[in-house]
C-alpha cells in the first residue's frame, strides 16, 4: 500500500518553505485559478466538481458538486471554510493549514468564481493558533500579489477573505453552529429546515460551508479534470483522502491514500503495525463519533460505503487503534466526557443524557458500578437515539448527542463482558 499524493504533494516536495507564495507558485500554484478566472465559465468548474464525485471531507460525506448546486440565487452569497477541526483523533486539516495554506486559498478563489461569491471566511478553531497565523500570512501575501481583493488576476472579479478564530467549541464544526458563531452568537446549531446554509446561511444569505480538505482538493480537480479525479479510489469514494492515524500504532500520522484498501493493510503498511507487536482489540474508523470496530474486523475496506454498511462511518477519516491492553471502558468514558463537555445545551436528551452517561461510566470504570448500570446506560442511550440503530435516529437538533451513544453501543454489542467484569457482583457492607 502506497500513498497517492495530490493534496500533500507540494508540501512533501518543498518541506521547508511550502507555505510561501513564491514557492507555491514555482509548483505551478495559482496557475489554475488564474486560467479559470480569465478563460473559463463558472458552469465549467461546477461541471468538473460534479464529474469528480468528490464527497465532503468534514465527516458527513455529502457530494460537493450537489451541495454547490443547491446554493440559492442572491446578490449576497458567502463561502465559509470549516477549519474548526476538533473531532478527537483528527489532525488532517491542521497539516493542510500549516503547510499548504496557498492551496486552500487557490481552492477558495476557484470555488468563489464558480459560485459567484465575493466574500469568504476561514473559520479556524482558536486552539489552532499556529495554523491560523500561517493562513493569515498566506492571505496577506495573496492580497499583495493581487490574487485576492479587487479585480483579481486582472479580471473583473473581487474577492475578500477573512480569517476568523473560534474560541474552543467543538459544536462549531457543525455548519449551522459555525454560522451562528461567525455571526457573534452562541455556537448553537440551527434547525434544518428552514436554516439550510445553502438557502439561509450566514446573515440569512445563501452560504456554502465546506471543509478545508474538500476545498484544498478543488485546484487539483479543476486542473486535471473531474474525470481524472473520479478514476482514483473506488466508486462512491473517489479521489484521495488524508487519514489521521493515531493510538497504539508504530508510526502515527497523516497519510494521503486512495480509498479502497482495508484498515488492516493501512495499519500494517503505513502505520508499521501495532506498537510492541500487540493485537488490535478495537479501533475507531472515523473519529470519536463513529461506532468502533473489533480487532477481527480489520478487513473492512476504507470507503465511505463499506464502513457505513458495517454500521459505522468513515467520518472525518480519523483512525484510532486500541491494542489488546486498552481499558475500553475508560476509552469510552473519555469519548463520552468529550461529548458531555461539548454539548451546547439546547436539546435536553443531549445535555442531560451525555452528562448521565459520563457519570455512570465513571462509576463503572472506577469499580463502583451497579448491576443495574448496564440497563441504565442503554436506557439513557435509547432516550438520546431511539432504537440505538445506525445511522442513529435523532431526538436532537444536531448529531452530537447520538454521537455520544456510539462508543456505548460498541461496548455493549462487542465488549459487554469487559463492562460486566468491572461491576462488583456483591456489595460488601
Partner 1 sequence: MSWEDSLLKQAREIIDMYPQKRSAVGPLLHLAQSKDGYISDDSISVISKLVGITEVQLKSVSTFYSMYKQEPTGKYLLSVCKSISCEINKSDEIIDVVKDFTGLNNNETDKNGLFTFEAVECIGACGGAPAMQVNYETVEGLSPNNTLKLCEWLKKELPEVVVAEEMQEDFGGYKSFDWAISDQSGTTGSVPGFQTLKTTKERN
Letter string b/e over residues 354-367, b meaning 16 or more CB atoms within 10 A of that residue's CB: bbbbbebbbbbbee
- What distance in Å separates the CA atoms of residue 4 and residue 232, rounded to the nearest whole number? 9
Q: Which of residues 129, 146, 368, 424 is near partner 1 by CB under 8 A?
A: 129
Closest approach, Cβ 41 to partner 1, in A, equals 27
Longest dimension (CA), the chain: 83
17 makes contact with partner 1 (CB under 8 A): yes
Binding mask 50-89 for partner 1 (x = CB under 8 A): -----------------------------------xxxxx
For residue 43, what are the CA distances in angstroms to 48, 69, 290, 356? 9, 10, 36, 51
Q: Which of residues 105, 322, 347, 397 is near partner 1 by CB under 8 A?
A: 322
317 makes contact with partner 1 (CB under 8 A): no
Closest approach, Cβ 327 to partner 1, in A, equals 8
Q: Which of residues 164, 278, 294, 363 is near partner 1 by CB under 8 A?
A: 164
**What's the chain look like in SS3?**
CCCCCCCCHHHHHCCCCCCCHHHHHHCCCCHHHHHHHHHCCHHHHHHHHHHHCCECCCCCCCEHHHHHHHCCCCCCCEEEEEECCCCCCCCHHHHHHHHCHHHHHHHHHHHHHHHCCCEEEEEECCCCHHHHHHHHHHHHHHHHHCCCECCHHHCCCCEEEEEEECCCCHHHHCHHHHHHHHCCCCCCCCCCCCCCCCCCCHHHCCEEEEEHHHHHHHHHHHHHCHHHHHHCEECCEECEEEEEEEECECCCEEEEEECCCEHHHHHHCCCCCEHHHCCEEEEECCCCCCCCEEHHHCCCECCHHHHHHCCCCCCCCEEEEEECCCCHHHHHHHHHHHHHHHCCCCCHHHHHHHHHHHHHHHHHHCCCCCCCHHHHHHHHHHHHCHHHCCCCCCCCCCCHHHHHHHHHHHHHHHCHHHHHHHCCCCCCC
Closest approach, Cβ 99 to partner 1, in A, equals 6
146 makes contact with partner 1 (CB under 8 A): no
Closest approach, Cβ 372 to partner 1, in A, equals 26
330 makes contact with partner 1 (CB under 8 A): yes
Considering only 54-62, 133-141, 191-199, 352-360, which stretch makes contact with partner 1 by CB under 8 A? 133-141
Considering only 161-169, 189-197, 298-306, 367-375, which stretch makes contact with partner 1 by CB under 8 A? 161-169
Do 122 and 109 touch, CB atoms closer than 8 A? no
Q: Which of residues 175, 223, 258, 342 is near partner 1 by CB under 8 A?
A: 342
Considering only 14-22, 47-55, 303-311, 381-389, which stretch makes contact with partner 1 by CB under 8 A? 14-22
| Closer residue to partner 1 (CB): 67 or 125 | 125
Which residues have a Cβ under 8 Å from the Cβ of 174 and sit 6 or more positions away? 189, 398, 399, 400
Closest approach, Cβ 147 to partner 1, in A, equals 18
| Closer residue to partner 1 (CB): 11 or 21 | 11
Q: Considering only residues 202 through 261, tell me which ones interact with partner 1, judged by CB under 8 A.
A: 203, 244-248, 252-254
Closest approach, Cβ 24 to partner 1, in A, equals 13
What number of chain residues touch partner 1 (CB under 8 A)? 70
| Closer residue to partner 1 (CB): 114 or 282 | 282
Q: Which of residues 34, 35, 133, 145 is near partner 1 by CB under 8 A?
A: 133
Binding mask 284-303 for partner 1 (x = CB under 8 A): x---x---------------
- What distance in Å separates the CA atoms of residue 130 and residue 134, rounded to the nearest whole number? 6
| Closer residue to partner 1 (CB): 37 or 80 | 80
Q: Considering only residues 178 through 207, tell me which ones interact with partner 1, judged by CB under 8 A.
A: 181-187, 203
Q: Considering only residues 21 through 50, tell me which ones interact with partner 1, judged by CB under 8 A.
A: none
Q: Considering only residues 373 through 392, tell me which ones interact with partner 1, judged by CB under 8 A.
A: none
Q: Considering only residues 88 through 127, tell me which ones interact with partner 1, judged by CB under 8 A.
A: 88-91, 94-95, 98-99, 119, 125-127
Binding site for partner 1 (CB under 8 A): 11, 15-19, 85-91, 94-95, 98-99, 119, 125-130, 132-134, 136-137, 140, 162-170, 181-187, 203, 244-248, 252-254, 284, 288, 318, 320, 322, 326, 330-331, 334-335, 337-338, 341-342, 344
Amino acid at each position: 500500500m502506497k500513498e497517492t499524493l495530490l493534496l500533500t504533494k507540494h508540501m512533501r516536495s518543498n518541506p521547508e518553505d511550502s507555505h510561501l507564495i513564491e514557492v507555491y507558485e514555482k509548483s505551478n500554484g495559482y496557475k489554475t485559478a488564474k486560467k479559470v478566472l480569465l478563460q473559463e465559465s463558472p458552469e465549467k468548474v461546477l461541471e468538473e466538481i460534479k464529474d469528480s464525485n468528490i464527497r465532503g471531507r468534514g465527516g458527513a460525506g455529502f457530494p460537493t458538486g450537489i451541495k454547490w448546486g443547491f446554493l440559492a440565487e442572491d446578490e449576497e452569497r458567502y463561502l465559509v471554510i470549516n477549519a474548526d477541526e476538533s473531532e478527537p483523533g483528527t489532525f488532517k486539516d491542521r497539516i493542510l493549514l500549516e503547510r499548504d495554506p496557498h492551496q486552500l486559498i487557490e481552492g477558495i478563489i476557484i470555488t468563489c468564481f464558480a459560485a459567484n461569491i465575493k466574500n469568504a471566511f476561514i473559520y479556524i478553531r482558536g486552539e489552532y493558533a499556529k495554523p491560523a497565523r500561517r493562513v493569515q500570512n498566506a492571505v496577506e501575501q495573496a492580497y499583495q500579489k493581487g490574487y485576492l481583493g479587487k479585480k483579481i488576476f486582472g479580471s473583473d472579479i473581487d474577492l475578500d477573505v477573512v480569517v476568523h478564530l473560534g474560541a474552543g467549541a467543538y459544536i462549531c464544526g457543525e455548519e449551522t453552529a459555525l454560522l451562528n458563531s461567525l455571526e457573534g452568537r452562541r455556537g448553537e446549531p440551527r434547525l434544518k429546515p428552514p436554516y439550510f446554509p445553502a438557502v439561509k446561511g450566514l446573515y440569512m444569505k445563501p452560504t456554502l460551508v465546506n471543509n478545508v480538505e474538500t476545498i484544498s482538493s478543488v485546484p487539483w480537480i479543476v486542473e486535471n479534470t473531474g474525470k481524472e479525479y473520479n478514476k482514483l479510489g473506488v466508486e462512491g469514494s473517489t479521489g484521495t483522502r488524508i487519514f489521521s492515524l493515531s493510538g497504539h500504532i508504530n508510526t502515527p500520522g497523516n497519510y494521503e491514500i486512495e480509498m479502497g484498501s482495508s484498515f488492516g493493510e493501512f495499519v500494517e503498511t503505513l502505520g508499521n503495525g501495532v506498537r510492541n507487536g500487540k493485537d488490535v482489540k478495537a479501533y475507531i474508523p472515523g473519529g470519536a463519533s463513529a461506532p468502533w470496530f473489533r480487532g477481527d474486523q480489520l478487513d473492512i475496506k476504507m470507503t465511505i460505503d463499506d464502513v457505513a454498511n458495517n454500521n459505522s462511518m468513515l467520518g472525518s477519516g480519523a483512525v484510532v487503534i486500541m491494542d489488546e491492553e486498552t481499558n475500553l471502558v475508560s476509552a469510552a468514558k473519555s469519548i463520552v466526557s468529550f461529548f458531555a463537555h461539548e454539548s451546547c445545551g439546547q436539546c435536553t436528551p443531549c445535555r442531560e443524557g451525555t452528562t448521565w452517561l459520563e457519570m455512570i461510566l465513571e462509576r463503572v470504570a472506577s469499580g463502583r458500578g451497579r448491576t443495574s448500570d448496564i440497563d441504565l446506560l442503554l436506557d439513557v442511550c435509547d432516550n438520546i437515539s431511539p432504537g440505538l440503530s445506525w445511522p442513529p435516529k435523532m431526538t436532537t437538533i444536531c448529531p452530537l448527542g447520538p454521537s455520544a451513544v456510539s462508543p456505548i453501543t460498541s461496548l455493549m454489542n462487542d465488549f459487554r463482558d469487559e463492562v460486566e467484569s468491572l461491576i462488583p457482583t456483591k456489595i460488601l457492607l
